[in-house]
Copies of this chain bind each other. A is one copy, B any other.
Amino acid sequence: MKNAAIFGASGYTGAEAVRLLLEHPQIRIKALSANSRAGEAYASVYPHFSGQDLPETRRISDIDLNDIDVVFSCLPHSTGQNAIAAALESVETVIDVSADFRLSDGQAFERVYGTPHQHPHLLSGRVYGLTEFARDALPGARLVACPGCYPTCTLLALLPGIEAGLIADRHIVVDSKTGVTGAGRKATLGLHFSELSDGSHAYGIGNHRHAPEIEQELRERDHCSSISFTPHLVPMNRGMISTCYVELTPGTTLETLRDSYANRYYADPFVQVATDDSVPQSRHVRGTNLARIGIYPDRVEGRAIIVSVIDNLVKGSSGQALQNYNLTQGWDETLGLSATALFP
């Protein structure tokens, strides 16, 4: 049994980590941090955990890390770098759900997040945990940076085609939609029920921080063209869609593309590729670590549209974090993650 601490357990990604770890046969939750609500029973922070045997929340500084094997860090970006660096001194593994270690160098981080990285030397050694593309690097990894929700959803849709040379190195449009939990648990007017229900809108148009992260990974695969990226907020709790508009390399047919994806993900328990015209729906992966991908002919010749859906809190965040941790330990990656979608 491994002992886990969850940093930032008062946010939605933290609560989702708790939910998933409670199902895990090899992990025991030993500590929960929630600086602003330290000292409370966790069930008072999240009543749906009432009845569960969980430690009360503490400040991070009050957690004895000697006891801990793995930290799942769910802190807001830019706030957990020191805590993670410190944790790496004593715990075996840190799985970071935030944006802090996703970009591969400190300058990129500063450019995108507007503040210098506190521990840039850690960036080179971290594993970028898009699980299906990080299998070789994960076993034994000590610091895993889990991709953002949009990058996870989008890269799963794009990388097989790019790696196989089927998607041309041309401008790609990524239009994404997310559920409201993606915006966190802040009590702001913009997240008020009546301000959000029965409507939708784009945000972060042209400047969302996940776009450089997506491009970083594309460039690593020699796709050097830029992407256009627009996220939208949809009145639902969970769920994410990336609709990706790509140009195919000459001679690439839809069948080639579909087969290629189906083969690429054949052995991956959490990625399902539709090889027909059925369309993935975010609600059908609700609560699961699944990604579903559909590939369609565009009406414009030589182009395709690739649609990918995930649950932003699971595969887009704490589920992938756990999948990654399973692999650092050499365990079956599905441990704790096998639940069927809660539909409806």
Contact = CB atoms under 8 A, between A and B. Distances in A.
Interface of A: 12, 15, 18-19, 22-23, 46-52, 171, 173, 175, 177, 179-181, 185-189, 191-203, 205-207, 211, 226-230, 232, 234-239, 241, 243, 245, 272, 278-287, 290, 292, 294, 296-300, 303, 305, 307, 309, 338-344
A196 B188 CA distance: 14
A150 to B, nearest CB: 14
A170 to B, nearest CB: 10
A305 B245 CA distance: 15
Given A187-B188, A238-B344, A300-B227, A47 B198 contact: no
A272 B50 CA distance: 8
A171 B300 contact: yes
Contacts of A202: 241, 243, 279, 307
Given A206-B298, A279-B201, A285 B48 contact: yes
Nearest to A297: B206
Nearest to A277: B205
Nearest to A21: B340
Given A192-B187, A205-B305, A197 B48 contact: no
Contacts of A227: 299-300
Contacts of A196: 193
Given A192-B193, A232-B241, 5 more contacts: A48-B286, A181-B194, A187-B188, A191-B194, A197-B237
A257 to B, nearest CB: 13
A234 to B, nearest CB: 5
B234 A235 contact: yes
A185 B120 CA distance: 42
7 contacts: A51-B290, A197-B197, A199-B286, A206-B305, A227-B300, A339-B339, A342-B342
Contacts of A298: 206, 228
Contact of A281 (B200, B280, B283, B300): B200
A260 to B, nearest CB: 18
B284 A50 contact: yes
Contacts of A272: 50-51
The residue in A187, A278, A280, A287 that gathers the most chain B C-beta atoms within 10 A of its C-beta is A187
B181 A344 contact: yes
Nearest to A198: B236
B198 A238 contact: yes
